[in-house]
Amino acid sequence: MTGDPADSSEVITPASCTVFQKEFAEIQGVIDAYRSHKRENVAIIGLPYSGKSTLISAVHETYKDDTYLVEYESQITNKRNLLDYRSKKPIFLMDGCQYLFSRHIGGFSVLDDFLDEVAISNSLFITTWNLYAWNYLRRVREVERIFPKMIFIHPLSDTEMRECILKDYTDAELQFIGGVEVELPSFVRTERHPVHLPFKEEPLMVPFPRFNVDSLAFRKRNAEETLSDEEVVFKKITKMAEGNPGIGKAIWKRSFDYPTVNLKDYQPVRVNDPLIRKDAFILGVIAMSGITSKEYLEEVAALEYDINPILYRLLTLGIISEKNGGYQICPEAILGVHDLLRSLRIIWE
Amino acid sequence: MVDGITPDTTSSHGGLVNGPVSEIYNEILPLILDAVIIFIGAYILARVISFLLIRLSEHFGHARIAVRMIVPILNIIIYTTAILLLLHQIITLSTIEIVAFSGLFGAAIGFGLKDVFANIIGGVIIAFEKPFRIGDRITMGEHYGEVAEIGMLDTRIVTPDDNYVTIPNFKIITQSVASANAGLTEMMVVIDIYIDHSADLDRAITIFKEAVVTSRHVYISDRCFYTILTENQLHSVRLRARAYVWDLRDEFECKAEISRRTKRAFQQEGILPPRYYVPGEMPELS
């Protein structure tokens, strides 16, 4: 492994990780430096569904003999689970480090032990962190001092998004993509807004027409660049997903109805109803953690409020979904949730 | 009446009666009517714009106070325009008349309208110097509360007890005003917790710190940091947290929430509240 980290074109990457060549090259550089006795622990940071796990799996695949991979998928509440990472291999890859702390009183002991051990260890630690959890821990635990090398996952380009989405399809399936029917979004779309009438208690949902500015820009660009239908689809998906592969895949799945990709009917999930502080806070905790159990959220609420109505509301708004007894943000809602939580300062920078 | 001849109202006996009446009817009444219409129009315009801007500002999250800053300035512009319009309707003065009018005007301000003009000047200072803004938490004299409205003559604040207090604007010149947040939505809160001298101080500080950083109301950034201070007192050890609440409206809820959660955790960990020591008695240290 001798590739120059600065030149990603020369870097050897596993097939599963071609879209993260730049990040992969940076990690290779860190590993090479570690072999030259310069240790710099790494934090790979990204939004939910941004591909952190794919990247660290690719690193593990490449350096199988030297690395030990630990994947956390739920909150680690005692040190015994944490100590699983002990191994004789010199490099530890730890995916999902946001699960090492809980946002309640007494919820930092595992993380504190972990940070202590990382600080005194001679091993190299390459870790992945949810962006929100990382920013939070920077403020309350100064984690950047333990993980000075921060690698932020970059948003994918159109071609990278295409590559990322289509790798799940066989060649035979790919044939129909060329003839895909692209239905462009219309100029006018309707949005339903509540109207309060004096003689009616409940608001009436009245559809209001709204000019679709995006469609204009999209049509103009499409006309100028004379893109193929396939390119237009992936350009649009990349734009709507802001380069996040997980969101892009979710949009693809929702718009793809064999043999048509219909982006016209796709409506991004927006949080139109103002959430009260505690609802938004719980949403922020879910966004920060990944898959979150109800028991954990009850601990976060700490008898201050009932968690059930909040979960019900977030589920009915289509912002979160339930999976194997845990709750997670729907990929399509991530960007809307991000804007909301930023404006409410639930997530810090 | 002969055709082509209009009646002379001033030379007849009726002229003494009809002259002032018709003057009132033809000149003063329309002026009063104009004045009323102009001021009602200005008032409605100012209220509508204030209402819309304040409603709109709620959608701006932590930038809402910046949007609300425009309200008092717009009010001043609207009312000043209304006054100028009215003056333009009433008088067109030569330079000598302006000087004479200014003298009389100054005397009127000096004697009768002193307080009114002091309030107006105070309003202008508040609008342009911005010692506080709509939405700020201020302490002015004995009153503490959120600034709800900055008018031409007075400032209205809503106290934590939901009292609506009207403070004349001239007090801004004569009194010191403390703004807890200075135009920002975040503001520092101070939370005190007292523990017994025999309690495990390190554990108590850890719990208190975690209660602060895990609060749903607390915001931490480069500028908005938090600290935990301790002070030995005669019968207790005081733990004091200084942290920023993300929205000043949650000031009291933030304090209460952190205090409640800390107290529950202290109870679970056996950290005792202070007790009264008889002079000479030494507390048992843990």
A323 found inside a domain: yes
- Phi/psi at A144 (nearest 5 deg)? -65, -15
Residues A147 and A164 in one domain: no
Residues A147 and A171 in one domain: no
Judge: B214–A344 Cβ closer than 8 Å, yes or no. Answer: no
**Alpha carbons A173 and B236: distance in angstroms, whole number:** 74
Residues A323 and A288 in one domain: yes
* Token pair for A160: 């990278």
For residue B62, which residues of chain A lie inside 8 Å, CB to CB?
Answer: 343, 345
How many structural domains comprise chain A?
3
Alpha carbon separation from A197 to A119, A153, A200 (Å, rounded) = 63, 49, 5
Contact A56, A95 (CB under 8 A): yes
A326 found inside a domain: yes
Fold of the domain spanning B187-269: Alpha-Beta Plaits (3.30.70)
ipTM: 0.75
Judge: A105–B211 Cβ closer than 8 Å, yes or no. Answer: yes
Judge: A281–B216 Cβ closer than 8 Å, yes or no. Answer: yes
Counting every residue written for chain A, the total comes to 349
- Phi/psi at A94 (nearest 5 deg)? -125, 115
Residue B58: closest C-alpha in chain A: A274
Torsion of CA B6, B10, B12, B14, to 10 degrees: 100
* pTM score of the predicted model: 0.72
Residues A245 and A319 in one domain: no
Q: What share of chain A is helix, strand, coil (3-state, %, to 5)?
A: 50, 15, 35
Q: Does B97 touch chain A (CB under 8 A)?
A: no
Q: Does B254 touch chain A (CB under 8 A)?
A: no
Alpha carbon separation from B105 to A208, B110, B201 (Å, rounded) = 55, 9, 69
Out of A140, A343, A349, closest to residue B213 by CB: A140
Query: pLDDT at residue A334 above 60?
Result: yes
Residue found by looking up tokens 């302490």 in the block: B139
For residue B219, which residues of chain A lie inside 8 Å, CB to CB?
Answer: 345, 348
Q: Which helix (H) or strand (E) holds B262?
A: helix B251-269
Residues A304 and A258 in one domain: no
Domain boundary among A231, A262, A293: A262
Contact B269, B203 (CB under 8 A): yes
Alpha carbon separation from B153 to A268, B41, B162 (Å, rounded) = 48, 18, 22
Residues A78 and A170 in one domain: no
Residue B256: closest C-alpha in chain A: A304
Of the candidate ranges A17-31, A267-281, B183-197, the one whose mean pLDDT is the lowest: A267-281
Judge: B214–A277 Cβ closer than 8 Å, yes or no. Answer: no
Rounded to an integer, the average pLDDT of A289-301 is 89
Query: pLDDT at residue A3 above 60?
Result: no
DSSP A40: -
**Alpha carbons A39 and A124: distance in angstroms, whole number:** 6
Residue found by looking up tokens 């949810």 in the block: A130
Structural domain of A100: 15-152
Judge: B217–A277 Cβ closer than 8 Å, yes or no. Answer: yes
**Alpha carbons A69 and B157: distance in angstroms, whole number:** 59
Residue A140: closest C-alpha in chain B: B213
Residues A189 and A303 in one domain: no
Q: Which residues contact A195 (CB under 8 A, 6 or more apart)?
A: A203, A204, A205, A206
Residue A277: closest C-alpha in chain B: B216
Query: pLDDT at residue A36 above 70?
Result: yes
Residues A108 and A186 in one domain: no
Residue A344: closest C-alpha in chain B: B61
Out of A105, A344, A348, closest to residue B61 by CB: A344
Query: pLDDT at residue A97 above 60?
Result: yes
For residue A349, which residues of chain B lie inside 8 Å, CB to CB?
Answer: 221
Q: Which amino acid is at A225?
A: E
Residues A194 and A228 in one domain: yes
**Alpha carbons A90 and B108: distance in angstroms, whole number:** 88
A-interface mutation test, from B56, B181, B203, B214, most A Cβ less than 10 A away: B214
Distance from the Cα of residue A165 to its chain's centroid: 15
- Phi/psi at A167 (nearest 5 deg)? -70, -15
- Three-state SS for A162? helix
Domain boundary among A228, A262, A296: A262
Q: What is the pLDDT of residues A55-69, one digit of tens each?
A: 999 999 999 888 999
Residues A42 and A147 in one domain: yes
Residues A201 and A139 in one domain: no
Q: Does A348 touch chain B (CB under 8 A)?
A: yes
- CATH number for A311: 1.10.10.10
* Token pair for B248: 């000043």
Residues A22 and A136 in one domain: yes
Based on its alpha-carbon atoms, the radius of gyration of chain B, rounded to whole angstroms, reads: 31
Ranges of each domain in chain B: 15-181, 187-269
Q: Does A140 touch chain B (CB under 8 A)?
A: yes
Of residues A76 and A195, more confidently modeled: A76
For chain B, residues with pLDDT lower than 50 are 1-16
User: How close, in Å, is residue A104 to chain B by CA atoms?
Assistant: 6
Identify the band that residue A342 occupies on the pLDDT scale cut at 50, 70 and 90. confident
End-to-end alpha carbon distance in chain B? 115
